Structure 1
Amino acid sequence: MPLLHIAHRSDWEAAERSGSYEISTRGHVLSDVGFIHASHPHQVSRVAAHVHGDDPEDLVVLVIDPSAVRADGVEIREEDGGAGELFPHIYGAIRPAWVVEARPARFEDESFAW
């Protein structure tokens, strides 16, 4: 099952050029937080509403291959995101090679589409 991460399109495009994506979540970077927040497919809409509901920037959903992450020696931990629900956290920068697709994302009629 892929991991998902919601990104500003501009941040992702910069990462494709530089070879490294280091945004943990909106307004926070990997060096401050220690990991990059990710979601399972059934969680991404709620995360989008909570974190990006008022976000005016273009968004993409990064579809990440967890086996590629682990093959490069980067740890993925399932950790409590609050109220006992486990979310995947990636303990390192995301490499573009791990991303199998960057899907355009948007809010439509108060629901998140990707």
Structure 2
Amino acid sequence: MTEPAPHRIFHIATAADWRRTLETGTYTTSTVGRTLEQEGFIHASRRDQVQGVFDRYYRSLGEDLVLLTIDPARLADAQVRVEAVGDDTYPHVYGPINRSAVLDVVPLSRTGGTETLLSLWLKGMAVRMGIALAVMVAIAVVVLVVQNA
């Protein structure tokens, strides 16, 4: 027996797979390394299940990841079935996910938390400032060595 589809479902995707969707208009990756065609459906989750899915399957992947927020009512050629998996239920998307059904795409951090554009910018800025500081220290050391020689 299946439950009705939730109002919103979520799917963790590699940034590369999502970029392909922007080109093709449809998303067809079921899970890491498996296509919709191979698996028969696309794995999805409720929001409260996202962190557990990330920890089990994506944490060690080492790729840039995004979290897709999907509106099941906007799926053009697919249906969502909520099915039992172990002691819980998960939504499965039977068919491709059309780009217009994806309401939001948010980058995921290396720990599975969502990133804002501001946090990504700040992290990038911190890295650039660290590099600039290291270069300035190196130059200062070279200047001191040359002056004392």
TM-score, scaled relative to structure 1: 0.90
Task: Work out whether residues 65 and 108 of structure 2, in 8 Å CA contact, stay in contact via their aligned partners in 1.
Answer: yes
Identify unmatched segments of 5+ residues in structure 2. Answer: 1-6, 115-149
The equivalent of 1:41 in structure 2 is: 47
The equivalent of 1:5 in structure 2 is: 11
Report percent identity of matched pairs. 35
The equivalent of 2:80 in structure 1 is: 76
Q: Helix, strand or coil for the counterpart of 1:6?
A: strand
**Distance in 1 between the 2:78 and 2:17 partners?**
21
Q: In the alignment, residue 80 of structure 1 is paired with which amino acid? A: A
Number of residue pairs matched? Answer: 108
TM-score, scaled relative to structure 2: 0.69
Structure with higher strand content = 1
Identify unmatched segments of 5+ residues in structure 1. Answer: none
The equivalent of 1:32 in structure 2 is: 38
Q: Structure 1 runs of 4+ off > 2 angstroms?
A: none
**Over residues 61-85 of structure 1, what are the superposed CA-to-partner deviations in whole Å (9 max), with x where a residue is unaligned?**
000011112xx25211111222x20
1:66 and 2:75 matched: no
Q: Helix, strand or coil for the counterpart of 1:113?
A: coil
**Distance in 2 between the 1:89 and 1:101 partners?**
18
Q: In the alignment, residue 84 of structure 2 is paired with which amino acid? A: D
Give the greater-gyration-radius structure (CA). 2
| Structure showing greater relative contact order (alpha-carbon pairs closer than 8 Å, 6 or more residues apart) | 1
Structure with higher helix content = 2
**Distance in 2 between the 1:43 and 1:64 partners?**
14
Q: Helix, strand or coil for the counterpart of 1:48?
A: helix
